[in-house]
Amino acid sequence: MDIKIRIEDFSLHYSDGKESLRHITLDIYANQINVLFGPSGGGKSSLLRALNRLNDLTDVAVQEGRILLDGEDIAAPGYDVIRLRRRVGIVFARPVPLPMSIYRNVTYGLELAGIKDRAQWDAAVERSLKQAALWEEVSDRLDESGYALSGGQQQRLCLARALALQPEVVLLDEPTSGLDPISTSKIERTLQELKSEYTFVAVPHSVQQAARIADWATFFLQGELIEHGDGKTIFTTPQNSQTNEYITGRFG
């Protein structure tokens, strides 16, 4: 299994003094669905945001350790975060289309990357909307506002928007938490189909979803990594009793 991201002894404090991640060491495997799960407040979102340096926008006080993306320390001060964010995309829990057309939502990142060629845009729009399983529903109304779509479609638009930049890694923070079961399964199927091209790091919104999609799974509890392993083992025969309590629903 190729390692895409190596997280080494990574700790993170917010400026209110709270230690949200404590000495995390974890490998993220290439072309796999790497799942982070555990009760809320465990630090999963904080870790995701560290992987594309979105924490730079929040009031993080101290960050220690290294995060190696293909061997390069992306947590290092002075690292080119703009280029990083093009390589590591993210989809948030709540779908947030930008206040522009469906088409421009998808091309937004390309425009920022300096791509101005209309034909390239057209190709990227079609490719990424197809990848996100949205093309058939919107191909005849690309000029409509992103907000004309249903919630499930909006979230697939957000996925397409991230995919348009052809990132190497896609982070997903509870991407289906507000969606109906049909939209949810569309997105889950999409991830399975795309993992040969991308590396996914996903925080599912439920243990069931975690068990369904995980190739690899890591259990987080209050800022600590409790257990890490392949999905099947973690969700059938976890070694740690806290992991076991959590996945069997006996967790307080």
* Contact positions vs another protein (CB under 8 A): 52, 54, 57, 82-83, 85-86, 89-90, 92, 94, 96-99, 108-109, 111-113, 145-147, 158, 161-162, 165
Amino acid at position 186, single letter: K
Evaluated on CA atoms 123, 129, 131, 136, the torsion sign reads: negative
d(CA 62, CA 74): 15
Contacts with ligand ADP, 46-85, as mask; x by CB under 6 A: x-----------xx--------------------------
Q: How far apart are CA 73 and CA 65, in angstroms?
A: 9
Residue 33 has phi, psi (to 5 degrees) of -95, 110
Q: How far is the CB of 110 from ligand ADP (least distance, A)?
A: 29
Alpha carbons 114 and 94: distance in angstroms, whole number: 28
The least distance separating another protein from the CB of residue 169, rounded to whole angstroms, comes to 12
Query: Could you say which residues in the range 34-73 bind Mg ion, by CB under 5 A?
Result: 45
When CB distances are held under 5 to 8 angstroms depending on the partner's kind, the choice from ligand ADP, another protein, Mg ion, none that residue 96 binds is another protein
Q: From another protein, Mg ion, ligand ADP, none, which one binds at residue 16 (CB under 5 to 8 Å depending on kind)?
A: ligand ADP
Q: What angle, rounded to 10 degrees, do the helices at 181-194 and 151-163 form?
A: 20
Rounded Cα distance, 168 and 89, in Å = 8
Q: What mask of x and - would describe binding to ligand ADP in positions 22 to 51, judged by CB under 6 A?
A: ------------------xxxxxxx-----
Q: How many CB atoms lie within 10 A of CB 20?
A: 21
| Residue ranges in contact with ligand ADP by CB under 6 A | 14, 16, 18, 20, 40-46, 58-59
Give residues in contact with Mg ion (CB under 5 A): 45
